[in-house]
Amino acid sequence: MKTQIRNIVFDMGRVIIQFDPDHFLDRAGITDLKDRKILKKEIYESPLWPMMDEGRLTEEEMIEKVRPVLPDHLKKYTEELIKGWPYPIEMIEGMEDLVKDLKEKKYGIYLLSNASFMQKEYWKTVPCSSLFDGTVVSAYEGTVKPDRKIYEILLSRYDLKAEECLFIDDRKVNLEGAEALGFSVYPFDGDAEKLRSYLQTGGIL
């Protein structure tokens, strides 16, 4: 880890909050394996989903596109799975306390996320969201990680230096994008205690 880290930049899904399509299907009560496969393919694995992150499609527009291709008995789930997945918000265990501890240590806390326009609404319900000093959300910027531009937007908007930032994400390609600009990076695997140990070892916590 580079020295003089002053800012911690977090991804959102699978880092701060849960984003697990199988869990969302469980929560909706969908147990049939064939039905689950169809819904995952047509919703979460669809090329339409990244279009929402890019700001090219709203949830309502995606629902209208997905409904016609689903079997009749599955159409009723589209709104719940496309618009309803963040309710209730479920945190990655240990991350709320970790963000609080970093804030107490006077680090700048930022969010850099590939997410849709809807993010601004559900982000308010994330318990530690008020601790963040700034957010950059792809749909509002018209560019997504790992495009160089979105990292540059974060740095410019909040007057940050890449070499003073640690970026935490669960996707290797996103980490590589940040590293190319000089960020320190940490590959998050869902284990907040492992991350805490890393931060302690590096003298951040």
Question: What confidence tens digit (pLDDT) does each residue in 122-139 have?
Answer: 999 999 999 999 999 999
Distance CA 132, CA 123 (A): 11
Contact 63, 79 (CB under 8 A): yes
* H or E element that contains 11: none
Are 133 and 166 found together in one domain?
Answer: yes
Tens digit of each residue's pLDDT (9 = 90 or more) over 44-74: 999 999 999 999 999 999 999 999 999 999 9
Domain assignment of residue 11, yes or no: yes
Are 78 and 114 found together in one domain?
Answer: no
Measure CA of the first residue to CA of the last residue in the chain; give whole Å. 13
Q: How far is CA 18 from CA 23, 87, 176, in A?
A: 9, 11, 23
Contacts of 117 (CB under 8 A, 6+ apart): 52, 55, 58, 59, 139, 140
Boundary of a domain, candidates 39, 59, 82: 82
In terms of DSSP H, where are the helices of the chain? Answer: 21-27, 33-39, 48-53, 59-66, 78-82, 95-104, 119-123, 138-141, 148-157, 172-179, 192-201
Q: Whole domain around residue 66: which residue ranges?
A: 21-82
Adjacent-strand bridge partners of 165: 7
Tens digit of each residue's pLDDT (9 = 90 or more) over 21-41: 999 999 999 999 999 999 999
Amino acid at 99: V
Average pLDDT, stretch 106-134? Answer: 98
Q: How many domains does the chain have?
A: 2
Contact 186, 204 (CB under 8 A): no
Question: What pLDDT score does 1 carry?
Answer: 55
Tens digit of each residue's pLDDT (9 = 90 or more) over 155-180: 999 999 999 999 999 999 999 999 99
Distance CA 138, CA 116 (A): 7
Domain assignment of residue 2, yes or no: no
pTM for the full predicted model: 0.96
Domain assignment of residue 100, yes or no: yes
- What rounded mean pLDDT belongs to the chain? 97
Domain assignment of residue 1, yes or no: no
Are 147 and 106 found together in one domain?
Answer: yes
